[in-house]
Amino acid sequence: MLRPVAVIGAGPFGLSSAAHLRARGIPVRVFGEPMVSWRAHMPAGMLLKSTPAATSIDAPQPGHTLADYCDAAGTPRLVEDDDIIPIETFIAYGQWFQQQLVPDLERVRVVSVDRRGGAGSASGSASGGFELKLSSGELFTARAVVVATGLSGLAHLPPELAGAARDGPSPAGPVSHTSQHSDLGRFSGKDLMVVGAGQSALETAVLAAEAGARVRVITRGHGSVGFGAPPWEQPRFRPGSPFGRAWSLWALSYYPHAYRYLPAQLRHYLVRHVLGPLGAWWLRDRFEGRAEVVEVERIVRAEAPDRRPVLTVRTADGATRRLDADHVIAGTGYRVDVAAMDFLSPELRTELAVSRGTPRLGAGFRSSVPGLYFTGLPAAASYGPVMRFVCGTEFASPRLARHLAASGR
Ligand SMILES: Cc1cc2nc3c(=O)[nH]c(=O)nc-3n(C[C@H](O)[C@H](O)[C@H](O)COP(=O)(O)OP(=O)(O)OC[C@H]3O[C@@H](n4cnc5c(N)ncnc54)[C@H](O)[C@@H]3O)c2cc1C
């Protein structure tokens, strides 16, 4: 019997990849907790920044869009650009998608992935396969592996905050990361500092303030807190894209093919800055007047005497200030780093061709290791910022499945 393809991850990218592989008749085993990044690592009450048109998980057959889910669930259809999607709706949609198209998902963790036969057994062809160990204790062989582990393990804490988080970021310690909070109600009545100016930082600040926290947002540079334009103020004579009307967004959304031929420096720059730190248009009214903004040139250091965080910051006029609070939340995003993907054997991680810690991918989302594929966030440095978002599944999943189908013949 043909050995299966293993898909590691049951978020939007893993589920979509699995659905496409299955539709091509490729045997597949899929591992992970369905939609866990959304259930456990984002705040309850969050609203999605993406519009309904940009928030469907790509499926090989019709009938599985966000609007289809709304119809099936008997809830109002979310289709217009100014329909805002509650996180709870998106989680339910993802779980429905999983039950429909990936019903035999295995809710276990992949503990390790190695070349079949271990280090040094590389045959140089995709047929050598991989040995996977699961948290259930099972060992099995896959002919190929798709890594769709998304945000897991990639939360980024800048070094200047590390001094106040010596044991690592933690909601119970002086400093945590936005990914560690699903209930911001715990900060009611507390003084909170949120570091960052992206949607995640700003929405965390708003939800904590609405729950009764006194919130300051610490951002770098003058005028660094900004919000996008609402749909009715988008420029009319520019092409539309899932992210708004602009030539650049249109090219990045519909032509990710060419992205990997751009110079490495430009690719990494665009991934971090296109659709970068900016609040959603609908967050502005809720933000203003609720959270104080402290603009700094940089955070010099963070300490936690008596477990209470103190940030030393340099301001634009060269002065130094000390800011303290009951807790600091770093809204400082995620950084892809193959070295942090500890389920991949050290040999595989060493062998992978990387660019600034991200796997270098070729056609069909394959890595430099035959049979090993990456999709979602780890693919963004190769296929562009669209891979950071759910709508990236539309480009990624059919191509990845096609490549795997061809390589299995
Ligand atoms: C606060 C916040 C708001 C966001 N808002 C939006 C938005 O509005 N619109 C949008 O398009 N995108 C948004 N994003 C980006 C969004 O998170 C990604 O687009 C999407 O979740 C990526 O899906 P994924 O499948 O790649 O990974 P994830 O959703 O992160 O799923 C990872 C999966 O991998 C599994 N996994 C990890 N390690 C293992 C292992 N060793 N073994 C087995 N399984 C494993 C997990 O169980 C999980 O199932 C937001 C992100 C954040 C942080």
Give the residue among 19, 3, 11, 38 at the shortest CA–CA distance from 104. 19
Residue 287 tokens read as: 């933000």
Contact 308, 326 (CB under 8 A): yes
Contact 150, 13 (CB under 8 A): yes
Range scoring the smallest mean pLDDT among 166-180, 241-255, 308-322, 354-368? 241-255
Report the pLDDT averaged over residues 102-119: 90
Could you identify the atom of ligand 1 that is nearest to the CA of residue 13? 25
Backbone angles phi, psi at 120, to 5 degrees: 85, -5
Report the pLDDT averaged over residues 223-242: 81
Q: Output the CA 308–ligand 1 centroid distance in Å.
A: 31
Rounded Cα distance, 184 and 42, in Å: 10
Alpha helices in 179-314 (DSSP H): 199-210, 247-254, 264-273, 284-287
Beta strands, E only, 316-404: 320-324, 327-330, 354-355, 358-359, 372-374
Q: CA torsion, points 355, 359, 361, 365, in degrees to nearest 10?
A: -160
Q: Exposed, middle or buried, 81 (CB in 10 Å: 0-12/13-18/19+)?
A: middle
Q: What is the model's pLDDT at position 126?
A: 45
The CA-CA-CA angle for residues 231, 210, 86, to 5°, reads 45
What angle, 0 to 180 degrees and rounded to 10, lies between the N-to-C axes of helices 87-101 and 66-73? 90
Q: Is 387 in the pocket of ligand 1 (CB under 6 A)?
A: no
Contacts for 175 with CB less than 8 Å, ≥ 6 apart: 157, 161, 164, 165, 169, 302, 304, 309, 327, 328, 329, 330
Rounded Cα distance, 389 and 13, in Å: 9
Kindly report the protein residue whose alpha carbon is nearest to atom 33 of ligand 1: 9
Rounded Cα distance, 129 and 194, in Å: 45
Q: Output the CA 155–ligand 1 centroid distance in Å.
A: 12
Could you identify the atom of ligand 1 that is nearest to the CA of residue 42? 1
The CA-CA-CA angle for residues 60, 63, 67, to 5°, reads 120
Report the pLDDT averaged over residues 251-258: 87
Kindly report the protein residue whose alpha carbon is nearest to atom 26 of ligand 1: 150
Q: Is 106 in the pocket of ligand 1 (CB under 6 A)?
A: no
Contact 174, 161 (CB under 8 A): no
The residues with which 314 forms a beta bridge, in sequence order, are 298, 320
Beta strands, E only, 123-213: 130-134, 139-142, 144-147, 175-177, 191-195
Kindly report the protein residue whose alpha carbon is nearest to atom 12 of ligand 1: 389
**Model confidence pLDDT, tens digit, residues 67-96:** 999 999 999 999 988 899 999 999 999 999
Q: Is 42 in the pocket of ligand 1 (CB under 6 A)?
A: yes
Q: Is 36 in the pocket of ligand 1 (CB under 6 A)?
A: yes
Kindly report the protein residue whose alpha carbon is nearest to atom 14 of ligand 1: 389
Q: Is 109 in the pocket of ligand 1 (CB under 6 A)?
A: yes
Kindly report the protein residue whose alpha carbon is nearest to atom 30 of ligand 1: 150
Q: What is the model's pLDDT at position 124?
A: 38
**Model confidence pLDDT, tens digit, residues 283-293:** 999 999 999 99
Rounded Cα distance, 10 and 106, in Å: 9
Kindly report the protein residue whose alpha carbon is nearest to atom 29 of ligand 1: 11
Q: Output the CA 396–ligand 1 centroid distance in Å.
A: 15
Q: Output the CA 48–ligand 1 centroid distance in Å.
A: 13
Q: Which domains does the chain have, with CATH numbers?
A: 5-153+335-407 (3.50.50.60), 159-228+278-330 (3.50.50.60)
Report the pLDDT averaged over residues 306-326: 93
Q: Output the CA 7–ligand 1 centroid distance in Å.
A: 14
Contact 216, 287 (CB under 8 A): no
Q: Is 93 in the pocket of ligand 1 (CB under 6 A)?
A: no
Q: Of residues 262 and 231, which shows the higher confidence score? A: 262
Q: Is 70 helix (H, G, I), strand (E, B) or coil?
A: helix
Could you identify the atom of ligand 1 that is nearest to the CA of residue 179? 53
Q: Is 8 in the pocket of ligand 1 (CB under 6 A)?
A: yes
Q: Give the up-direction half-sphere exposure of residue 237: CA atoms within 13 A in the CB hemisphere.
A: 0
Rounded Cα distance, 169 and 330, in Å: 9
Residue 61 tokens read as: 């057959």
Q: Output the CA 377–ligand 1 centroid distance in Å.
A: 8
Q: Is the pLDDT of residue 247 over 60?
A: yes
Average pLDDT, the chain: 92
